Amino acid sequence: MTLHHRVEGDGATVLVLGGSLGSTLAMWEPQLPSLTRRFRVVRYDHPGHGGSPVDEDVHSIEDLGRRVLALLDELALERFDYCGLSLGGMVGMWLAAHAPDRVGRLVLCCTAPELGPPEGWLERAAAVRRDGVASVADAVVGRWFTNAFHAAQPGTVARHRAMLAATPAEGYARCCEAIAGLDLRGALPRIVAPTLVVTGADDPVVDPERTRALTDGIPGAYHVELAGAAHLANVEQAKAFDTAILEHLEAA
């Protein structure tokens, strides 16, 4: 199965963008103007998200990571930088730890090497299989954006809620189960890619302890916190997000 993807930009360096649980590659649209001027950008949909079909062989973050490597092999892209947010960041950790010769620079956004307790993710998987992803959409979008952004940008919030609610239940549930089994803390010291960790100051999903697990566990990693941002920091604070990641990706 080939992941649904888009390749844009003419830069010499390949930059792969991996999105959050319940998103499509459209979540990266705020970044396209700045990134495609500098990079050959590859956006993709996780299995069972957006244009990628449900994959019944996906059970873990490793499975998701191997699907990304297969896509890049099909595109004949051996070496790449990677920026991932939330679930996409978990995939990025796995890639950098298990295919270190392929990952140049790494950006991990609003993510963690483990996000327990697993029971909560398994309960969410069961709920969406029973009632659909729309049944959890309001709660999830409430964590994606701050209250101030909900009030100021209702149209943007509504578009992202619709994107989430349209996610196939089985695709969403399988990725919930992958997160339930996630624990990459032991793999972090194997990451050799220069790594930036980006968080939102108001993110209710990723707490400071989990952020420290990344910056302490990955040799040389450093942290940038974005004020006025919840979980989808790339949307809520797009300009500050772009500035932070470009400074890292373009560092000599």
> Is residue 214 one of the residues assigned to a domain?
yes
Q: What integer is the mean pLDDT of 166-184?
A: 98
What integer best gives the mean pLDDT of the chain? Answer: 97
Q: Is the per-residue pLDDT at 115 higher than 80? A: yes
CB 176 within 8 A of CB 40: no
> Is residue 99 one of the residues assigned to a domain?
yes
> Is residue 230 one of the residues assigned to a domain?
yes
- What does pTM read for this prediction? 0.98
> Is residue 169 one of the residues assigned to a domain?
no
> Is residue 157 one of the residues assigned to a domain?
no
122 token code pair: 């398994």
pLDDT in tens, 195-231: 999 999 999 999 999 999 999 999 999 999 999 999 9
> Is residue 210 one of the residues assigned to a domain?
yes
> Is residue 225 one of the residues assigned to a domain?
yes
- Total domains in the chain come to 1
Grade residue 108 by pLDDT with cuts at 50, 70 and 90: very high
Range of the domain at 191: 5-114+183-249
Q: Is the per-residue pLDDT at 173 higher than 90? A: yes
pLDDT in tens, 41-79: 999 999 999 999 999 999 999 999 999 999 999 999 999
Q: Is the per-residue pLDDT at 252 higher than 90? A: no
Cα 155 to the chain's mean position, in Å? 22
Q: What integer is the mean pLDDT of 176-200?
A: 98
Report how far residue 75's alpha carbon sits from residue 217's, in angstroms, rounded to the nearest whole number: 32
Q: Could you tell me the CATH number of the domain that includes residue 225?
A: 3.40.50.1820
**In this structure, which long-range contacts are made by residues 96-103, counting pairs with CB atoms below 8 Å and at least 24 apart in sequence?**
96/191, 96/192, 96/193, 96/195, 97/184, 97/187, 97/188, 97/190, 97/191, 98/62, 98/65, 98/187, 98/190, 99/65, 99/69, 100/190, 100/191, 100/192, 100/193, 102/69, 102/72, 102/78, 103/193
> Is residue 172 one of the residues assigned to a domain?
no
Q: What integer is the mean pLDDT of 150-156?
A: 98
Report how far residue 222's alpha carbon sits from residue 215's, in angstroms, rounded to the nearest whole number: 6
pLDDT at residue number 1: 73
